Structure 1
Amino acid sequence: MGQRRAAAERLRSAEFAAFAAGAAGRLLHAATLLTGDPAAADALLCAALSRTYADWYRMRGEDPYAYTRADLVRRYAHRPWWHRPGDGVLARLTPQERLVVVLRLFEGVAEEQTAAQLGLPADRVRAICLRATTTLRSRPTAGGGVLAPPGQPQAR
C-alpha cells in the first residue's frame, strides 16, 4: 500500500510539474495584469497553483488551466489587498473592470463563461467590458494624444 501511494504521489507531482511549466508564465502574466504588482501577482499565482495541486486528483477530466485561472480570479475578486493598481495601462480600471478585461480580452474567455465565473449577467459583463475599453482608449498617451481604435489616427 505504501509503495502504491508513493508511486501515485510521484505521478501527481510529475503531471503537475509539467502543467505548471507550461501554464505558469501565462497565468503569471494574467495575475500581473490583475494586481498591477509583481509581488502580489506571485503570491496570487502561488495560492492558485497550490489549490490546483491539492485538488489534482479530484479534478480529473477538467482542464487544469481553466481550473487554476478560475481560482486565481476568485482569489483576486475576494481579496481587496490585491487591488493595488500599479502604473500599467490597466491602472485606471476598477478591480471588476480589470477582471472582465483580463478574462475577455487577454484570456479570450467567452462572455457567458466570464459572467458565470463572476456571478454576473452576460449583458452586465458586456457593459463592463465596453466601459473599460472606452476608458482604455481615452487614456492620454505619453505624447499628449488620445489612444484611438486600431486603424484610426490618434487625436492631438
Structure 2
Amino acid sequence: MVKVAYSIVRDKHAAEDVVQAAFVKAFAAWWRVRRADDPVAYTRRIVVNTALAHLRKPARRFEHSRAEVPDRPAAQPDVMGTGPGEVWDLLGQLPPRRRAIVVLRYFEGLSEREIADVLGCRPGTVKSQASAALRTLRDRLGTHDAERDSGRGHRS
C-alpha cells in the first residue's frame, strides 16, 4: 500500500502518512471493510482516495516543526525498487489521477474495471486516461514515432 501511495504522492514520508490515515479510516469503518467482497481492494481504494485528497488539500496536511532546518532535502529512498530513472521521473510529472491509473494498471496489475471501482469512475474513463497518460509518457520519452522511424507501417 505504501508503494501505491508513494507512486501518487511522490514522497516517502507523505506516502507513509497517507497509508496510516487510510488505515485509520479503514479501521473506523471495519464493519464495512470486513463485509466487502475483497477487503484488500476496498482498503486499496481508501489509500488511493486518501493520496489523491492529500494532493488536493495541502491545508489539511499535518506538518511537524523542527528545531533546525536541514541544509538540504533528504534523499528520497528507492521505494519502488526501480532506482532513479527517466521513466519514473516522467511518471511523477503526470497529473495525480492519471498517475494513479498508470500505477494501479501497470504496477499493481489491476483491471480497468477494478481501477474504475477504486477511483469511482467508469471503465471508459480509465481507458481514456490511461491512453492519454501513456501518450504523454511516450511523447516525453520521444518514442511515439519509433515505429514510423523504424520503417514499420509504410508500404512500398
Give the TM-score band, short-chain normalised: 0.5 to 0.7
Q: Summarize the Cα distance change of 1:127–1:58 in structure 2 as closer, same or farther, 3 Å threshold.
A: closer
TM-score, scaled relative to structure 2: 0.62
Q: Which amino acid aligns with 1:45?
A: V
Q: Of the two structures, which has the highest relative contact order with CA contacts closer than 8 Å and spacing of 6 or more? A: 2
**Distance in 2 between the 1:61 and 1:98 partners?**
29
More helix by share: 1
In structure 2, the residue matched to 1:139 is 140
**89-98 vs 111-120, which deviates more?**
111-120
Q: Give the count of matched residue pairs.
A: 119
Q: Distance in 1 between matches of 2:42 and 2:125?
A: 23
**For residues 88-112 of structure 1, what are the alpha-carbon distances to aligned partners after superposition, in whole Å with 9 as ceiling and x for unaligned?**
3412201111121122222222212
Q: Distance in 2 between matches of 1:41 and 1:60?
A: 24
User: Contact conserved, 2:9 with 2:15, CA < 8 A, in 1?
Assistant: yes
Consecutive unaligned residues of structure 2, counting only runs of 5 or more, are 59-75, 77-87, 151-156
Contact 1:49–1:68 (Cα < 8 Å) also in 2: yes
TM-superposed CA distance for 1:122, in Å, is 1.8
Q: Which moved more, 1:122-131 or 1:106-115?
A: 106-115
**Moved runs in structure 1, 4+ residues, more than 6 A?**
none
Question: Which structure 1 residue ranges, 5 or more long, are not aligned?
Answer: 1-26, 141-145
Amino acid of the structure 2 residue aligned with 1:71: I
Give a deviation string over 1:6-39, Cα, whole Å, max 9, x none: xxxxxxxxxxxxxxxxxxxxx1111111111111
Tell me the distance in 1 between the aligned counterparts of 2:32 and 2:43: 13
**Paired residue for 1:37, among 11, 16, 21?**
11
**Could you tell me which residue of structure 1 aligns to residue 64 of structure 2?**
none
